[in-house]
């Protein structure tokens, strides 16, 4: 989410970094779009990705800070049906080991229909660090969401 990026005034390096971080044997990147920091535009885009494209996972980047224009969490909250607080909690907790600024993130995660939406930071470094924190659990979470897995706990967990 970026006003400048959507106007072509800034190159989107974060989406490239996210794509490079995802294991191509587990994830395929189907869609990338730069959306301005407008709550209605973000909501419409998220609804399209979940309801029409029926993607398993939507990773947003940007718009999670304190700026007046940072509205990605609000747009996400407006479209999700279930909150998944553990994901941003884990991202903030682990990121706090790197920088105290992690506590300033307002990122959220949630489910709409059969799609998991996760807000990531706008910087390539922050987005990749946060994505790496949640990647070990994502495949299983998506399998459960899609009804492809039922056993959540194992004796060795």
State the pLDDT at residue 155: 54
Question: How much of the chain, in percent, has pLDDT values that exceed 70?
Answer: 95
Given a cut of 70, whether residue 153 has pLDDT beyond it is no
Reference 127, options 1, 10, 17, 9; nearest CA is 17
pLDDT for the residue numbered 157: 56
- pLDDT at residue 3, rounded to an integer: 83
For 16-52, write each residue's pLDDT tens digit.
999 999 999 999 999 999 999 999 999 999 999 999 9
Question: pLDDT value at position 16?
Answer: 96
Q: Is the pLDDT of residue 137 over 70?
A: yes
What are φ and ψ of residue 44, in 5° steps?
-60, -40
Phi, psi angles (nearest 5°) of residue 116: -95, 125
Q: How confident is the model at residue 150 (pLDDT cuts 50, 70, 90)?
A: low
Domains of the chain, start order = 3-145 (3.40.980.10)
CB-based contact 45:35 (threshold 8 Å): yes
Residues of the chain with pLDDT > 90: what percent? Answer: 87
Q: Note the pTM of the prediction, 2 decimals.
A: 0.93
d(CA 34, CA 7): 9
Q: Are strands 57-61 and 115-120 parallel, antiparallel or unpaired?
A: parallel
Least confident of 2-6, 67-71, 76-80, 133-137: 2-6
Rounded Cα–Cα distance for residues 17 and 21 (Å): 6
Element containing residue 39 per DSSP (H, E): helix 39-47
Indicate the length of the chain as a whole number.
157
Instruction: Identify which of 141, 128, 152, 145 has the alpha carbon closest to the alpha carbon of residue 59.
Output: 128
* d(C-alpha 55, C-alpha 1), whole Å: 18
Q: Which pair of tokens denotes residue 74?
A: 């609000």
For position 152, what pLDDT does the model report? 56
Average pLDDT, rounded, for the chain = 94
- Which pLDDT band holds residue 59 (cuts at 50, 70, 90)? very high
Say yes or no to pLDDT of 154 above 70.
no
In which residue are the tokens 């930071």 written? Answer: 121
């Amino acid at each position: 989410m970026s006003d400048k990026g959507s106007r072509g005034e800034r190159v989107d390096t974060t989406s490239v970094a996210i794509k490079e971080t995802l294991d191509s044997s587990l994830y395929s990147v189907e869609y990338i779009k730069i959306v301005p920091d407008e709550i209605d535009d973000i909501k419409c885009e998220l609804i399209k990705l979940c309801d029409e494209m029926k993607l398993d996972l939507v990773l947003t980047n940007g718009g999670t800070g304190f700026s007046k224009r940072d509205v990605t969490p609000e747009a996400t909250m407006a479209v999700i049906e279930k909150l998944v607080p553990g994901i941003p909690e884990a991202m903030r907790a682990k990121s706090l080991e790197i920088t105290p600024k992690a506590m300033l993130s307002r990122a959220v995660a949630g489910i709409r229909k059969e799609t998991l939406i996760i807000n990531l930071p706008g910087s390539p470094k922050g987005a990749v660090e946060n994505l790496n924190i949640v990647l070990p659990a994502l495949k299983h979470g998506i399998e459960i969401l899609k009804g492809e897995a039922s056993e959540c706990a194992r004796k060795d967990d």
